[in-house]
Structures are given as structure tokens and as C-alpha cells.
Amino acid sequence: MTMKLYGGGISPNARKVRLVAAELGIPLEPVPLDMRRGDYRSSDYLAKNPNGKIPTIDDDGFVLWESGAILKYLAAKRPDGGLVPRDIKEQALLDQWLFWWTAHPEPALMQLVVERLMKPFLKQPSNDVMAREAEATLERFIPVLNQQLQGRDYVLGRLSLVDFAVAPWLEAAPRLGVDLTTRYPNLRTLLEKMRAKPYWNATE
Ligand SMILES: N[C@@H](CCC(=O)N[C@@H](CS)C(=O)NCC(=O)O)C(=O)O
């Protein structure tokens, strides 16, 4: 049975999943959810993901949420796919960058999604203080990634899950009122490399 992916559209977290699945040749059956219709909070969907967030996958009855966990699951299904290093120290570095990304830059970017996309979409007032705090967090942490990419093609040197966690957010950043690719040239180069993947546009 084809693996189902709940949620999609412009969500960078859902896009991570589509991109890794495409890189690994894992077919996905998209199950679109409409936030305005309340699909994220329907009892059927909350039974799969009690957070009422996307993405969630259903692999023949095995349900998994949290995009980072989903990426690791997909990679584990294709151990020869090359997206997780075999060496345990390199694996630990992959986890370091994945956890770092989801602990620091991503929540700040998510805050900007809430203030600058979701609230206007739902016709709710935005909170400028929260948005500025998110920008300050990005100012602190994004240079760390830019530095890591100095002299490297990808975050770990070779293509890995980390690049798929980061790149959809770099692409989404201008819509959130932050430009991470003009100010940080190594991030721009990374995004250009990811955009050159043959499946990039088809997974939008
Ligand atoms: N840490 C979660 C974040 C999931 C998340 O916040 N998804 C957003 C879309 S990118 C969402 O569902 N937002 C709706 C909401 O928060 O109600 C993951 O990586 O899967």
C-alpha cells in the first residue's frame, strides 16, 4: 500500500517529507487537508496526530508525525539511499544539526509563519513583538549554519537529511519577511544546489 502523507501545500515541514521521498524514490499518496475547513482539528485527523499539525504519514497502518522523525524513517527504509552516514560519529553530527535546526532556527521561522502568514490568512491580528523576537533568534543562529557551510557543499559535506530539513525553509523565508539567502551566501549556494535536484519543482 502506498504511504500516505497528510498535509501539504506550502508547509515547509510537509515539503521536507515530499523531497526526501522523491530523493529516495518512495512513492507517496498525498492526502490534502484544508486548515480553514478545520481538517487539522477533525477527530479523524487528531486520532492520527493529536497535535493537529502537519505533516503526518501513514505507512500501511503505521502512523508517524514530527517531520524530523519522518525523514529518519524514510531514510531507514532506504538504507542505501545515502542520506544518513554509516559512521556513528557522522550520524551523531547529523543528529546534532537536525536537533539544532529544530530547536533554534525552525521555531523562529515557524513563529514568523504564524505572525505573517497564518494570522493574516485567518484574519487575526499579528503580534509584531513576537515577530521581532523570532528575527532576533534567526540573527543569532543562522550565521552558525552559514559558517558550517563555508567550504562544504552540504551541511555535513555530503548530501544528507539535514539539507532537506533546511532547504524548504530557506525557500520559504522571503514569504515570511526574512531573506536568508542574500545575506548569507553559503545558504544561497546550498539552496541553489537543492533547487537543481530534478524532482525539486515537481514536489512543490
Ligand atoms: N515540529 C513539527 C512542526 C509541525 C508544524 O508546526 N506544522 C505546521 C505547518 S508547517 C502546522 O501544522 N501548523 C498548524 C498549526 O500549528 O495549527 C514538525 O516538524 O512536524
Residue 126 Cα to ligand 1 midpoint, Å, equals: 18
**CB count in 10 Å sphere of residue 181:** 18
With 90 as the cut, is the pLDDT of residue 35 above it?
A: no
Residue 91 Cα to ligand 1 midpoint, Å, equals: 25
Please check whether residue 155 is in contact with residue 79, taking contact to mean a CB–CB distance below 8 angstroms: no
Q: How does the average pLDDT of the chain come out, rounded?
A: 96
What DSSP state is assigned to residue 25? T
Cα-Cα-Cα-Cα dihedral sign, residues 79, 163, 152, 146: negative
37-57 average pLDDT score: 97
Contacts of 174 (CB under 8 A, 6+ apart): none
CA-to-CA distance for 53 and 46, rounded, in angstroms? 9
Backbone angles phi, psi at 34, to 5 degrees: -105, 110
Summarised one tens digit per residue, pLDDT across range 85-117 is 999 999 999 999 999 999 999 999 999 999 999
Q: Which of 6, 13, 112 to mutate to test the pocket of ligand 1 (most atoms within 8 A of CB)?
A: 13
Written as nine digits, the cell of 32 is 490534502
Q: Is 48's C-beta closer than 6 angstroms to any atom of ligand 1? A: no
With 90 as the cut, is the pLDDT of residue 202 above it?
A: no
- Looking at residue 171, what is its pLDDT? 95
126-138 average pLDDT score: 97
Whole-Å CA distances, 60 to 1, 3, 47, 77, 97 = 6, 7, 16, 13, 30
CA-to-CA distance for 13 and 109, rounded, in angstroms? 11
The band of 9, judged by pLDDT with boundaries at 50, 70 and 90, is: confident
Global pTM reads: 0.96
Which run of H or of E encompasses 89? helix 88-103
Q: Is 56's C-beta closer than 6 angstroms to any atom of ligand 1? A: no
Summarised one tens digit per residue, pLDDT across range 162-198 is 999 999 999 999 999 998 999 999 999 999 999 999 9
Q: Is 54's C-beta closer than 6 angstroms to any atom of ligand 1? A: yes
Q: Is 66's C-beta closer than 6 angstroms to any atom of ligand 1? A: yes
